[in-house]
Amino acid sequence: MNRTKKEQEINFLKDSLKNYTSIIIASYSGLNVEKFSQLRKDIKPAGSLLRVFKNTLSLIAFKDTYAGVLSDYLEGPNFLLLTNDLSKSAKVLLKFIKDNPDNIEIKAGYYKDILDKNQIAILAALPPKEILIGKFISILKSPAGRFVFALKYPQIRLLQVLKAIKMKKSA
């Protein structure tokens, strides 16, 4: 790889790190091209970038970025998974690892802090962001609904008492 190509790769990775909020570093061994292509195909709908970079170029690109804390994990054959939805991407990656347990091992990840493979697995188990937002909104809405009911309840109770008195008088 000539110097120009290396600079292009470094700049591409730096730009990618600016565009994505999270990263996972995983080692791969014995993974053939067909399976690696399948993983890329599976990851793409999650809006993620999965790519193999030379470790030395990754180290240079990681400097002065959030990924700099992951430099120690760049040993051996690695691929980088860059994403804005870590939960969704981790879910796809872990499913692939489950199907190919001997080929891929998650080393570390980053989302506002360094994540180990157990923490990444926990994030993958979370429901999608839209469902979490929906649940959160329903939790916020619930106390307000109860408050409105509490304000209406005395009036409803009064109406029930008046209706019972009316029925008693008419009987």
The b/e string for 70-99 (b: 16+ C-beta within 10 A; e otherwise) is beebbeeebbbbbbebbbbbbbbbbebbee
* CATH architecture classification, 3-126: 2-Layer Sandwich (3.30)
In the numeric block, which tokens belong to residue 122? Answer: 């926990």
DSSP secondary structure code for residue 69 in this structure: G
Q: Is 13 exposed, middle or buried (0-12, 13-18, 19+ CB in 10 A)?
A: buried
The rounded mean pLDDT for the chain is 79
- pLDDT tens, residue by residue, 1-59: 788 888 888 788 888 878 888 888 888 877 778 888 888 888 888 788 888 888 888 87
- pLDDT of res. 99: 81
Please give the order of strands across the beta sheet that includes 114-115. Answer: 49-51, 78-83, 22-28, 104-110, 114-115
- pLDDT of res. 147: 66
- pLDDT tens, residue by residue, 72-128: 878 888 888 888 888 888 888 888 888 877 777 888 888 888 877 777 787 778 777
Rounded CA gap, 116 and 25, in Å? 10
In the numeric block, which tokens belong to residue 54? Answer: 């030379």
